[in-house]
Copies of this chain bind each other. A is one copy, B any other.
Amino acid sequence: MSHRYTIALDVMSGDHGASVVMPAALGALQETRDIRLVLVGDKAVIGAHMRHWPEPVKPRAEVLHASQTVGMEELPAVALRNKKDSSMRRAIDLVKQGGAQACVSAGNTGALMATARYVLKTLAGIDRPAIATALPSLFGHTHMLDLGANVDVEAAHLYQFAVMGSVLVTAIDRNETPRVGLLNIGSEAIKGNDRVREAAHLLERSSLNYIGFVEGNDVYCSDVDVVVCDGFVGNVALKTSEGVARMISENIRSEFKRSWLTRLRGLAALPVLNRFRSRIDPRHYNGASLLGLQGIVIKSHGGADALAFQNAIRIARKEAEANVPQRIDKQLGRLLRQEVEV
């Protein structure tokens, strides 16, 4: 099979740069025969890694030199202005020019979003791109957006996020009528704020499979497919989830370490606990989509390891295969027309 999808990797960004991205690249090439990778970054560094690669995969990897790296704390405006030869910028440029169908970066979210938006532009009808990711749930998984790109949004933006999330799930999960919920709070007194209520009205009138308000627990414990919220709330929910999961796992560990008896019990339970752990392993969920752009950009967690980064590459391939931006564009056009007709 020839390589059908070309994915550009920002090799230098993230907390670990090439030491994580290069092994992930090798893993991805070995796992999936139909991809080609463009490794963007310092060619000496990349070359040093590739020397140890098995020969058969090498033809599917191309190196694109970039002399700069965007720092994890660098301000987006500064990165945009001063880092035109950064691995991040070059990888996104490549998507713009058609040299790759998608790119993956573990670089800082703000700079990545700003650069992607500047280079690729948003789709017609999208005011603001959003960040979406899949999260594990009792029913498989749930996609949530926005996760931090937009802190102050209006109802119309939440509506656009719903469209984008719905299209994403249709495209990559082959679910034609994803259940879309609007994140709200359940206190009887005050069902959310004006923005959320207004967005609900928009969604009720749309042709999306809108199921109404959902609460925080529904992200993990109900069969909703797409949870829509503003970026502040989404980011807090995501980080809070990480915190709870970490606390629970450290508590379990420390309970099993109390004494030789509990250690023994831990040993007995280990295979099962490991299996469970792998089921909710955040590395299997690494890779957030920057949606609403005229191109596919996948953001890996900055601290991701090779296994996690490889998952982000997997998502990039999936979105390339499903043509996510074109689908959103089409669906959005349809929904906007529909709205006018209503």
Please report A residues at the B interface, Cβ cutoff 8 Å: 72-76, 108-111, 113-114, 136-138, 148-149, 151-152, 183, 185-190, 192-194, 215-221, 229, 231-233, 235-248, 250-252, 255-256, 258, 262, 264-266, 268-269, 271-273, 275-276, 279-280
Contacts and interface: CB of A to CB of B under 8 A. Distances in A.
B239 A215 contact: yes
A231 B233 CA distance: 11
Q: Shortest 8 CB-CB distances between A and B: which pairs?
A: A110-B189, A216-B239, A217-B243, A269-B269, A216-B240, A220-B243, A268-B268, A185-B235
Nearest to A258: B272
A325 to B, nearest CB: 21
Nearest to A257: B272
Nearest to A108: B188
Contacts of A271: 262, 265
A10 to B, nearest CB: 16
If over half of A's interface residues share one DSSP class (helix, strand or loop), that class is named, otherwise mixed; here it is helix
How many copies, total? 2
A149 B73 CA distance: 35
Nearest to A138: B247
Given A113-B189, A272-B265, A221 B241 contact: no
Contacts of A239: 185-186, 215-217
Contacts of A272: 252, 255-256, 258, 262, 265-266, 269
Contacts of A276: 251-252, 255
A237 B235 contact: no
Contacts of A152: 193-194
Given A186-B239, A221-B247, A233-B236, 13 more contacts: A76-B188, A111-B188, A113-B189, A136-B247, A185-B235, A218-B243, A240-B244, A244-B244, A255-B279, A256-B272, A265-B269, A268-B268, A269-B269
Given A138-B247, A221-B246, A272-B266, A187 B110 contact: yes
Nearest to A188: B110
A145 B246 CA distance: 22
Contact of A240 (B192, B219, B250): B219
In this complex, the member of A74, A188, A237, A262 whose beta carbon has the largest number of chain B beta carbons within 10 angstroms is: A188
A256 to B, nearest CB: 6
A244 B246 contact: no
A148 B191 CA distance: 10
Nearest to A114: B189
Contact of A151 (B148, B193, B269, B280): B193
A229 B237 CA distance: 13
A275 B255 contact: yes
A152 B263 CA distance: 49
A231 B191 CA distance: 11
A216 B241 contact: yes
Given A110-B190, A111-B188, A235 B251 contact: no
A273 B244 contact: no
A78 to B, nearest CB: 11
